[in-house]
Amino acid sequence: MELLAEASDGDGPLLYACACSREKVRRDSLAAGFPGTYPGTCRHAGLSKAQSGLAADGAPAADAYPLRIRVPGSAEVTIDELNRGPLVLEPGRTMGDFVVWQRNGDPAYQLASLVDDEELGIDLVVRGKDLLPSTGAQAWLAGRIGYSGFPGARFIHHELLLDPSGGKLSKSQGADSLKGIRERLGSPAALLGYFARGLGMETGPVSRPADLLEGFSPQRIPVHPFSWEDFADKLFLNG
């Protein structure tokens, strides 16, 4: 954080405090024509260091704001997408200035996840396709703090289970939980077997996750989405 706190990109400090609520971020991004992309509302607000979560004694200030990192709109990073080859991501356009430090004094997801993967030497990152903007943000951030492991890793951004309307299957929208599905099936074996077939794996009887290891290959992860309706029908969850 010290390295980032002292850096500048020529347009001002690389890090700046942000007083925007989530609702204001939502409204401002919609008004700017880029829903979900922070438009830099507080870039030039001039909030003091004492309000940025960087109090002199290292503890979070009582009135601390989260810290965002300034991402140029032209920022680009290239990652190695295992099943598709080199993939160019534009974090300035897909996420904008993202939060790296929370107001409670803890690192935010983008920074914490990046540091964990770099320190653990992770060389294959498997994520849902909805996290592509995060991957771009983290790969760009890695370049700002001198990390090379994460940007040099291989990536797989798999498709998602979709609800009947074509949206992302989400528990927040009332979707079944894995626990609930297992209870309805009576055993995890049917669920594991279905996912094994969906991932293109040739495997024998599956009764536990370890049974999937022998037939697993990252290259077989499908590039098409799974329909929850088809999934539920095949598992006889709809009657």
The verdict on 34 and 100 lying in the same domain is: yes
Question: Domain ends where: 158, 191, 210?
Answer: 158
Compute the half-sphere exposure of residue 175: CA atoms within 13 Å on the CB side of its CA: 19
Question: Domain ends where: 108, 133, 158?
Answer: 158
Position 90 in a domain: yes
What is the structure's pLDDT at 100? 94
Successive 10-residue mean pLDDT values, the chain, 239 residues: 56 84 90 88 80 58 81 94 92 94 89 96 92 96 94 90 66 59 68 69 70 73 67 52
Domain that residue 80 falls in: 2-158
What is the structure's pLDDT at 238? 45
- The number of distinct structural domains making up the chain is 2
The verdict on 227 and 127 lying in the same domain is: no
Residues ≥6 apart with Cβ < 8 Å to 24: 41
Question: Domain ends where: 158, 183, 202?
Answer: 158
The verdict on 72 and 104 lying in the same domain is: yes
What is the structure's pLDDT at 196? 72
The verdict on 112 and 145 lying in the same domain is: yes
Position 198 in a domain: yes
The CATH number covering residue 41 comes to 3.40.50.620
Residue 102 carries which DSSP code? -
SS3 category, 158? strand
The verdict on 97 and 209 lying in the same domain is: no
What is the structure's pLDDT at 96? 93
Provide Rg for the chain, Cα atoms: 21
Instruction: Please say whether the beta carbons of 174 and 164 come within 8 A.
Output: no
The verdict on 206 and 121 lying in the same domain is: no
The verdict on 87 and 145 lying in the same domain is: yes
